[in-house]
Structure 1
Amino acid sequence: MTDRANVVDGFLQRAGRVGVWVPPLVLDATPGPVVSRTVGRIDDLGYGSLWTGERLVGAEAFARHGQFLANSRRLVVGTGIANLWARVPEAMRGGAATLASAYPDRFVLGIGVSSAAVVDRVGETYDRPLARMRDYLCRMGEVEGPPDATYPRVLAALGPKMLALAAELTDGAHPFLAPVEHTAFARSELGPGKLLVPELGVVVTDDPKTARETVRAMFGGLANFSRTSAYTANFRRLGYGPDDADRLFDALFVCGDPDTVAGRVREHLDAGADHVLVQPIAHDLAGIVDQLAQVRSALP
């Protein structure tokens, strides 16, 4: 087994099949001590991993994930994603190596190019994302890290070119807001031996109709994502057209009882996912953790 295969296998052995993805916007709106206590509760529930993203206007990724690690005993934590626009490649490598050295076998570095809408707000120019990511990864590879700082690296990847880059230069992919069909597509593009860690939006409820309305309100009827070219292209690639809003919604989110949620998680696993991140949709951190507690016993 190669060194990189050992890294992938180590993650799977420690993290199991199911983890948690929490929106950075919710975390940024929550007092720090509450976040710390909540991380401990997620750890106690038995989930294998905890991930969040980076908004460029909120908490810095490595500081936030250091908080996760310091307040948990066994959770693997993953950046989903650390935004390459927030730091030079040398700093990305250094931040990841520092956490991986301090917490062996408990850190995953997910990297992404974000979107034009986000990047424009901080005065940068979003162009040639694939070439930019390749150059960024190559520069990271030229930086020496501590000898014990081994950790998986994955890319935020949806389309075939970014997935191919993930397979070539990293340990796998972390798709966001993608249906089961995409998990099967991503696995075929990545090939065997690469990590595939999709996110899945869920609402644990006995009232699916109300839950759908809540999700639609929070996600703006998918309008915000539909204006982002990478997501739009992915939806179209998978056969979802402009008139398929309801069908797309049902493919991206699962609303129902714990068994219904667990069934969708298993669909992703059967389609080729190694580890599925459930993202409970709620307005606050307490609502997210309540749903995590409700569904845990039904999950693989």
Structure 2
Amino acid sequence: MGEDAVLEARRRLGRIGVGLMTPLAPGDEWRRAARRVEDAGYGSVWVNEAIGGREVFTQLGVMLAATERIVLGSAIANLWARHPAAMQGAASVLADAYPGRFALGVGVSMGAIVEQSGQTWSSPLTRMREYLDGMDAAVPAAPAPEVPFPRLLAALGPKMQGLARDHADGMLPAMMPVEHTRRARELLGPDRLLVALRPVILETDPEKARSVARQVGAFSMPGSPYIAALKRLGFSEAEIAGGGSDAVVDACFSWGDEAAIAKGVQAQLDAGADHVCVTVFQPDLASTADQFERLAPHLLNG
């Protein structure tokens, strides 16, 4: 953690990256998708995980080995999936093997997901603080990468954002309006990294685009941190219910043609994001890469 990691990450990430959030797929498909995204000119690829299944560090290692330049990041590595020393060790090994090409995003997930894994959900803030302390304690036993890797927290609320400011290199909020990004930058200050995960929908029909957005389900899960974050921004419970009103959907998703999506992504940068991770909704990695290639001239040449 430190200024060097933030400055180096800003330089290597550039302005725009992508998220490959597709469920299980063969390794060759992940390798091909990562290479296509790299060839299109994006600065990063981010991968998520739940608990079990597609383990994020193994997945990132596969794609790091298949690419040459692009930064690979976890968005997020679920802290409930591993001991903090294992998190620190895995991140350090990848950062050591691929200097400057790894970024660590850590998150607490949601209560329902944790409970399904057989664990007992507890205070997210306390859990994250203790977990970061455990990671720090494990640093001496882990490899020392030549290029420091940034540690970012999935932080939607102000208390978790404060933890990201004081005990990490920054934060990576997902699916939040521009105003959330503006407030996050104000809280973080200029010396921390802010990566905004922005879902986009290449669809010009408003009804179809908003229907896709509402199927995501992030605003309907019990105890969803997205609901609490939107309420802090002034949206009512009625507006958030049912997958979100038109106003909620339009604030949290960018949809339309390529120009409209580029405008929505730029708004996140203008609000203070250092880097925007664009995600799309496609059934497989090949069609996901197709959309990223289609968007690249509009997102990367602005």
Calculate the TM-score normalised by the size of structure 2: 0.93
SS state at 1:63 partner: helix
SS state at 1:19 partner: strand
The structural deviation recorded for 1:96 is 0.3
Residue of 119, 133, 138 corresponding to 1:138: 133
Question: Contact 2:107–2:153 (CA<8 Å) still a contact in 1?
Answer: yes
Deviation by residue 1:125-154 (Cα, 9 ceiling, x = unmatched): 111111111111111111213233520000
Give the letter aligned to residue 182 of structure 1: H
Question: Contact 1:8–1:194 (CA<8 Å) still a contact in 2?
Answer: yes
| Matching of residues 5-154 of structure 1 within 5 Å | 5-23=3-21, 26-28=22-24, 30-143=25-138, 144=140, 145-148=142-145, 150-154=148-152
Match of 2:207 in 1: 209
Question: Contact 2:219–2:226 (CA<8 Å) still a contact in 1?
Answer: no
Match of 1:235 in 2: 230
Distance 1:231 1:220 in 2: 10
Give the letter aligned to residue 135 of structure 2: M
Match of 1:298 in 2: 298
The structural deviation recorded for 1:8 is 1.0
Question: Contact 2:210–2:246 (CA<8 Å) still a contact in 1?
Answer: no
Question: Contact 2:6–2:150 (CA<8 Å) still a contact in 1?
Answer: yes
Match of 1:172 in 2: 170
Question: Contact 2:129–2:163 (CA<8 Å) still a contact in 1?
Answer: yes
Where do 5+ consecutive residues of structure 1 fail to align? none
SS state at 1:8 partner: helix
Where do 5+ consecutive residues of structure 2 fail to align? 240-244
Give the letter aligned to residue 7 of structure 1: A
Distance 1:240 1:281 in 2: 25
Deviation by residue 1:3-23 (Cα, 9 ceiling, x = unmatched): 821211111111100000121
Question: Contact 1:203–1:291 (CA<8 Å) still a contact in 2?
Answer: no
Question: Contact 1:110–1:154 (CA<8 Å) still a contact in 2?
Answer: yes
Deviation by residue 1:139-197 (Cα, 9 ceiling, x = unmatched): 11112132335200000001010000000010000101211111011111111110000
Match of 1:257 in 2: 257
| Matching of residues 264-279 of structure 1 within 5 Å | 264-279=264-279
Question: Contact 1:204–1:294 (CA<8 Å) still a contact in 2?
Answer: no
Distance 1:228 1:57 in 2: 21
Equivalent pairs counted in the alignment come to: 292
SS state at 2:73 partner: strand
Question: Contact 2:254–2:265 (CA<8 Å) still a contact in 1?
Answer: no
